[in-house]
Chain A
Amino acid sequence: MEGKAAINTVQTPEAGIGKRMRKFFISVSDLSAFTLRFVKEAFTPKYEIYEFIKQAYLVGYQSFPLVAITGFIMGLVLTIQSRPTLAQFGAESWLPAMVAVSIVREIGPVITALIFAGKVGSGIGAELASMKVTEQIDAMEVSGANPFKYLVVTRTLATTLMLPVLVVASDGISLFGAYVGCNLKGDVSFKLFFLQVFDKLTFSDVFPATIKTFFFGLAVGLIACYKGYNSNKGTAGVGESANASVVYGSLCIFIIDMIAVQFTSLFN
């Protein structure tokens, strides 16, 4: 009965939208339940320490080179691009401080998180989906283990804790890139550059920016695990899960960023 009704409703666009809305809300509630389960299982013993450390290492190690290269280029390019505008106002001496603020506040966290979602999110999504498809997750379950704890909790915690570390590293490398950029035209000593940077960079720049990266990491990990763990479309689902992990992970990063900016301006 329901099957027939569904076929009929697809014909009209309004009903199609209704169906999509329903699907959307179902996945939102599923994801919320998944998140709750994550929180619950993350705080109940026993803890999978070794697997967590392994995942944290893998997550950090895998994405560090990529993050480092993009960080350097970002700092360099941003400096080169900003120089002419500042020069017009005769404010070239502001260059280090201005670039530093934009890197630390916004560009560093967001770009690093996006790269992280692309590299780590897709990896987790594909890995868990293929484990699901080949019944490895079922096998863990029937051996009396808790696959949610072993796979989802460790990976999500790893992304949550490692992304901030990567962002801090990337910020540092970006600032070095900016220093190189400043020295392409003009001449600033290393010491003077960083004096100018830290003169303008305040705690209220660094702190909220770091806090939001925890949420970025949490979102990337949770979404990738959710998409992988609930994959059920065979081998085709593996690619789909990897893809969805990146797309929704990235989208979530921007949404969290928007919320974070509202919060920060509220307190400033």
Chain B
Amino acid sequence: MGKMVAEIEGLQKSFGDHVVLADISLHLEEGENLVIFGKSGSGKSVLIKCLVGLIVPDGGSITLLGTDITELSVPDLNKLRKKVGFLFQSAALYDSMTVRENLEFPLRDQKELTQAEIDALVLEALTNVGLEDAIDKMPVELSGGMKKRIGLARTLILKPEIILYDEPTTGLDPITAKEISRLILDVQKKYNTAAIIITHDVECARITANRMMVIKDGKCAAEGTFDELAASEDELVNSFFK
């Protein structure tokens, strides 16, 4: 077993009476892609938002890169967050900024970087996603797939050790979806990042997954490799692969 980069133990979260996460435990190893399946509304987004401290859980422990995030002060948490990339379901590009400014934003407080170095980083990130031409566009001028890719570029610019993808391929046509999945795989190979990929796209899982998990009723319902789960007899697990 490789080095552990993220570990969740007995995570719980409810909104009012509505229990979203009842008892989730998972771990993520260095350089590994973990794909999480789950029905819409099963709390997948809530789970990864808990991981980066956007949502405060009701119970359980979260260890990221060796530190328990529930005990961190805000400045320390922010430092840790720079090592964790988060690709939002909606890409969440800053729409008052150009693509270049979007990518520069995460680098703002790295005072030691010169403008030339920043430009190089921006270009590298854009080249990784194949969108060098879009550098001076505004987010409204981009298509859905381009937005996702720019979002990914913005995530990559800090060279994170862990990337959390929230439905990277949802809402895209099969060809673009496949491109994004390939991109995720490329990133894993190139930078040796670990990733949690939330999706209900079987094709994306087939391409990217080293290991998979299915969430149901706020609990982990099944775990295994893609092939193991694809061959599963379980009705719920099976339904994702149809």
Contact = CB atoms under 8 A, between A and B. Distances in A.
Interface of A: 3, 46, 127, 131, 134-136, 138-146
B94 interface: yes
B79 A144 contact: yes
Given A3-B17, A144-B79, A134 B108 contact: no
Contacts of B108: 145
Nearest to A1: B17
A143 B106 contact: yes
Interface stretch (B83-91, B126-134, B185-193): B83-91
A43 to B, nearest CB: 16
B105 A145 contact: yes
Given A144-B79, A145-B105, A146-B78, 8 more contacts: A127-B96, A135-B88, A135-B89, A135-B92, A139-B92, A142-B54, A142-B84, A144-B78
B117 interface: no
B230 to A, nearest CB: 32
Contacts of B79: 144
A138 B88 contact: yes
B81 interface: yes
B92 A143 contact: no
Contacts of A3: 16-17
A131 B105 CA distance: 15
Given A3-B17, A144-B81, A138 B54 contact: yes
A134 B95 CA distance: 10
Top 5 nearest A-B pairs (CB, nearest first) are A139-B92, A135-B92, A143-B106, A144-B78, A144-B82
Q: Report the contact-size class of chain B (Cβ under 8 Å from the partner).
A: 20 to 34
A241 B54 CA distance: 22
B175 to A, nearest CB: 26
Nearest to B48: A142
Contacts of A140: 94, 105
B84 A139 contact: no
B21 to A, nearest CB: 18
A8 B94 CA distance: 44
B106 A145 contact: yes
B93 interface: yes
A138 B94 CA distance: 11
Contacts of A138: 49, 54, 88, 92
B233 interface: no
Contact of A141 (B16, B54, B89, B94): B54
Given A142-B86, A143-B105, A136 B81 contact: no
A131 B97 CA distance: 12
B204 interface: no
B237 interface: no
Contact of A145 (B16, B17, B109): B109
B88 A143 contact: no
B158 interface: yes
Contacts of B96: 127
A3 B17 CA distance: 9
A40 to B, nearest CB: 12
25 contacts: A3-B16, A131-B94, A134-B92, A134-B95, A136-B94, A138-B88, A138-B92, A139-B86, A139-B88, A139-B94, A142-B52, A142-B84, A143-B81, A143-B82, A143-B105, A143-B106, A143-B154, A143-B158, A144-B79, A144-B81, A144-B82, A144-B109, A145-B106, A145-B108, A146-B78
A136 B93 contact: yes
B69 to A, nearest CB: 12
A105 to B, nearest CB: 38
Q: Which of A134, A135, A138, A146 has the most CB of B within 10 A?
A: A135
A136 B92 contact: yes
A83 B145 CA distance: 66
Contacts of A144: 78-79, 81-82, 106, 109
A266 to B, nearest CB: 42
A146 B154 CA distance: 17
Contacts of A146: 78
Contacts of B90: 134-135
B95 A136 contact: yes
